[in-house]
Structure formats: C-alpha cells, structure tokens
Amino acid sequence: MDMILHNGRIITMDVAFPEAEAVAIRGNKIIQVGRSDEIIRLRQNHTEMIDLQSKLLVPGFHDSHMHLVNYCLSLHQVDLRGTTSIEALIQKGIDFLSSIEKKDGFWLQGRGWNQDYFTKKTFPTRHDLDKISADYPIVFARACGHVVVVNSKALSLAGVTKVTPQLEGGHFDVDLDGEPLGIFRENAIHLIYKHIPDPNLEEIKSMILQGGHLALRQGITSVQSDDFEALPGKDFIKIIQAYESLRDNHTLPIRVYEQCLLPTLEKLQHFMSLGYGTGQGDDFFKLGPLKLLCDGSLGARTAYLREPYSDDPSTCGIPVYSQDELDHLVLTAHQGGMQLAIHCIGDGIMYMVFESIKKALEAHPHDNHRHGIIHCQITDSTLLNKYVELDVIAHIQPIFLDYDLHIVEQRIGKTRAKTSYNWRSMMELGIAVACGSDCPVEPFDVLPGIYAAVTRKDLKGYPSQGWLPEQRLSVAQALYGFTMGAAYASFSENIKGSITPGKLADMVVLSQDIFTIEPDFIKDTEVLMTILDGKIVYKK
C-alpha cells in the first residue's frame, strides 16, 4: 500500500458501507475501506501512514457548475465584491489602475459589483467610470456576469453609438437623447468583449494552474466548468488546447469536465464537425455537455419570468433564444449524442427549455441522457414534476441564498418565492441534484455552500430560523450534492464521488465534523488536507 489514512471518521457516501475508520490507497485508487485495525494490517515498508486524529474524512468535493477560466481571469482584475457605493467602486478602479503595469492594448477590467449593496441602488454608468480614466478602456462586470458597465473610451473603441442597433437576446441602455449610458445586458455584452485582446496560450495555462491550486485549498478535486466563451475571442479550441497541454504534462491541478458553451447552431455544428463530443477525454480533462445560456440573472432582472417582475412590472426579463431557436439547438445536440446543461433561472425560460427537451426525447428517445438545468431557481410544482417526467438533473448553487434570500420576494413576490429554491422538494421527488458554486459569481468554497443548504441562512446568520426552513437539506444530502450528485451529472459516479474500493483516491480532511457540530458553524470549517489521485496536494 502507498498510503493508509486511519483513526478517523470516514463518511464514504457509499450506501453499501456508509462509515469507516480507515482507508488504504495504492497508486491513484482506493483499495480497501474499513476499521483502523484491519486496514493497518495492510501496511508495508514504504506505506505512508497518516493518523487522522479522529478528524472527518469525506470524498473530494466536486463543483457541478462554475467558470474556472473566468475565475482565473478575475484574479487579475479589480475585485469589486462588497463595494457599497459607486464612489467606492470608482476609488477601487483608481487604486488598481495606479498599481499595475499597462501593456499595449490594456483594458481595465473588474468584476463583482452589485447595485443592491449600494447606498443608491442604481447601476453605475459610463460617466462614473470616466472618473477613473478617460485614457484607458474600462469594463466592470456585475457579480452575476450578465451586466457590464463601460467608460466612454471603451464605447469609442467598440464603435457603439446612438445609431448602433440593439441585439436580439440583449440590450444596452441609452439616455433620453438616445446616447449609450455604458450599461450592457446579456448578448449586448459581446459588443464590448470582442474588442478586448485575448491572453495567449501560455498565459491561459498559467492562470488555470493558479486557479486550480486555489481550488485544491478548498478541498475541490473536480469541477464542471463553463470556459469556452470566457476569453474575449471566444476561441474554444484554445481552451481545449490549454487544458490538454496541462493534462498531457501531468500538471493540471484538478479534474475538469468541460461544459461546452456553444451559443449558436453554427458553433455547435462546427464543434461537432471537428469530431468533438460529450465524453471525449480522460479522468483529468473531459468534454462534457453542450452548455446553453438561456436567460440572465434575478439580481439584474434579466432572468426570464412567465409573469412580470413584482418590483418592475415593465419587464419579464430577457429570453436569449426564441422557442424555435432553442428547439433546433437542443435537438441537434441531443441527436448528436451530446449531453445538455442549460442555464435557466426564471420559470419562463424553464418552461421553454423543457418543451425543447421533450421534443428532442420524443424524436430520439434516450434513457440515460443526463440532461441538466443549471440554477433552476424560480420554479413551481408543474416545473418540478417536469424534472421528474423528463429525468432532468437539477444543478443548484446553495450559496446563492446568501444574496438571493434578501431580494427574491421583492423581485417576484411571496407567492412565487414560496415555490422557488425548493431543494428539499426536489430531492423528495427523486430529482437528481448536483451542487456547485457558479464561481466567480460566488466563491467556490464548498463549506459555506453546505451551510447555506442546511440552514437556509445568509453568511451572517439571517434569518435566525432560515428562509423557507422547510426546504433545508440535511448535511448528508448537501454533501451528496457536492460529491455523488455531481459525479452522476458527469457520468463519473462509477469512478469518483464516494470513498469506495476501486474508485479514484480523491478525498478531503476537515477541521470539524460537519455532521455533529451546530449547523451555524459549518461555514467556519476548514480544509486540513486534500488528496487527489492518491497524492497529498494540499496540507494546511
């Protein structure tokens, strides 16, 4: 044996053998799980012995939806999270700009502002960002990534004026004279991003290394990541090359199942014509589902609802596709053997997507398609039953409650809110649930996500009894979502997701027993050690 971890409490997430004290590893595989005395007998001269000192050992965490490359890019941008005013946002931009070297073609980029945290709950405009610089183009993305604000220099470089036509599935705001205000929503964002220079291949690889190692510090050993359009040039081949190069050199820090964002029929057909498809790759990098981004976010009021927003009756949000466009994309991918992972926050877009999936399944029945809806926030009982009827996976992000529980009833009213974020109901109906973070929209730290699922509170402990407390998950259910549930969503439940003999040796040691402590303290639990592929890759 190469490694034995003993004298611990091991929650395996394997229903056949749910708890143990020790585990033996050879190479990158789990060989045996059981009592400490029986596993210690397998010790050999070269075996690394690790005394867990009664600490909790669980399977490596698996984030079922995030944006790794986007997160890596954000590490080199202005961090606008927690900004409480437009004035503070401006100052952060000025401070960052003065602290860095500016290369040719430089754009000042930032991410994380949220107008709901501002004293005046309004979006910044180009006039605000012009106070940071009139010489350098600036683009600051809202926390959700579905809205950006730019300065006048960026507008000029992008050629956006009062005569620029609006795009389908997107919008840019104008003043009373028709002049652009610098606020771009959904598809209109591409009018700006296409002018930003791409990093080169080596820079992308360096950023993935940085972001991947930070994920390991949080016990994350696998991610399902949407990266194909993270770069301004939207070159998916460059993304694939970066990951494959790291994998081939045995330096890719974590396992990646790529959620392939291909937003047009032409891009999807091109991708498939090159021979790419779901399941290609190995245990470290594999191409996964077609990812579609079908509406916006609740915070920006661009999530597409069946009925108008309660706090803005003039809008139902923005559907990115028509029903016909969705039908063609879903059918093409499904018929071509691709899994689907579709961003849907509003109930309006969810009904449209389920209609497309139903048509595709009727045309080409498939019992093990594992198509999924990402976010699935604003639901009703009819929609939940459609998950069951069509056997669709729900990819949820429990940490969203930290912000959303403060705005959801304002946005959609108490009646619709009552049937939304209904995760316990999903599980009780037998819907397959996978958990993630949507990083960098939210941090990818898993323990705060488990805390939010279990307590239904924000990170400050509000409300004291939890929001819709009847929808709380148990610790076991939440952990399942970040392990076996996520593995199932990537067709990998037979090789990871539980501490089971024969599976990959990916696991994490925690500072507290999250099954026995008060749920309010789960978010404060630390990762003490991360093991990936049978090797210790992080130790506190």
Chain segment 161-187, per-residue pLDDT in tens: 999 999 888 999 999 999 999 999 998
Per-residue model confidence (pLDDT) at position 319: 96
Burial class (CB in 10 A: 0-12, 13-18, 19+), 473: buried
* pLDDT for 399 beyond 90: yes
360, 362, 368, 373 alpha-carbon torsion, rounded to 10°: 50
d(CA 305, CA 265): 24
Residue 224 is inside which H or E element, if any?
strand 220-225
Q: How many CB atoms lie within 10 A of CB 237?
A: 12
How far CA 501 is from CA of 486, 494, 510, in Å, comes to: 19, 11, 21
**What SS3 state is found at 243?**
helix
Q: Express each pLDDT in 42-85 by its tens digit.
A: 999 999 999 999 999 999 999 999 999 999 999 999 999 999 99
Summarised one tens digit per residue, pLDDT across range 259-279 is 999 999 999 999 999 999 999
- Name which of 397, 384, 321, 389 is nearest 361 in CA terms: 389
Tell me phi and psi for residue 425, to 5 degrees: -60, -40
Rounded to an integer, what distance in angstroms lies between the CA atom of residue 391 and that of residue 422? Answer: 17
User: Which domains occur in the chain, in start order?
Assistant: 106-193 (3.10.310.70), 201-524 (3.20.20.140)
Q: What is the mean pLDDT of residues 473-481?
A: 99
pLDDT (mean) for 303-316: 98
Can you give the pLDDT at residue 123?
Answer: 96
Report pLDDT for 297.
Answer: 94
Summarize pLDDT for 140-154 with one digit per residue, the tens: 999 999 999 999 999
58 by DSSP, 3-state: which?
Answer: strand
The answer to whether residues 24 and 4 touch, using CB atoms and an 8 Å cutoff, is: yes
In angstroms, rounded to a whole number, what is the distance separating the alpha carbons of residues 116 and 182? 19
CB-based contacts of 416: which residues, under 8 Å, 6+ apart?
307, 310, 347, 378, 380
> Could you report how far apart the first and last alpha carbons of the chain are, in Å?
24
